[in-house]
Structure 1
Amino acid sequence: MTPPAFFHRLARVNPTTAFMVALAWLLAGLFLPGIIGALVLFALVAGLARLTFTTWRVQSPITRVVRSGLLLLLMVAAISKTL
């Protein structure tokens, strides 16, 4: 099974650029007020969860634990933003 073209393009993205874009989304979600910030954080959770679970088979067990924990913390932040 060959991965979609999206993943081929994603593999060529500079890691620093990917980090900066994810950081910008995180900061926007944290600093935007109320439900708007929560929606940004939920979008970030959805994107990162898809990427994490798509690459699940090639990750080491400790990487799986760390990424799952960070996704959980990000989900808690998004939920607390809605309250």
Structure 2
Amino acid sequence: MQRTQPALLTRLARVNPTAAFLGTLVLVLVALFAPGIVGGVLLLALAAGLAALLVATWPVQTPVTRAVRLLLLTLLVAGALLKIMA
């Protein structure tokens, strides 16, 4: 990481990837098993965090990676909206 990058990105770069994966997995599972609007809001919160991360890392990603991340973000938001509506 370069010194000109924001402190938040520097801190995120130090996070253990396994811990980040497990934390996200727990959040997704809680959101999927939570009833209706509660689960949907948790999924939307996760989508907002992922969108912020996507924006911050956009310049250094390849076009294929960008497309995959946008597709997954779209699917997450769609799933959250379906959970809220159901």
For residues 1-83 of structure 1, the aligned pairs below 5 Å read 2-83=4-85
1:23-62: CA deviation from partner (whole Å, max 9, x where unpaired): 1111111110011001100100000010011100001111
* Structure 2: unaligned runs, 5 residues or longer: none
Q: State the distance in 1 between where 2:76 and 2:56 align.
A: 18
TM-score, normalising length: structure 2: 0.91
Query: Residue type of the partner of 1:76?
Result: A
Q: State the distance in 2 between where 1:43 and 1:61 align.
A: 25
Q: How many residue pairs get matched? A: 83
Q: State the distance in 2 between where 1:43 and 1:75 align.
A: 10
SS of the equivalent of 1:81 reads helix
Query: Residue type of the partner of 2:20?
Result: A
TM-score, normalising length: structure 1: 0.94
Q: State the distance in 1 between where 2:4 and 2:81 align.
A: 35
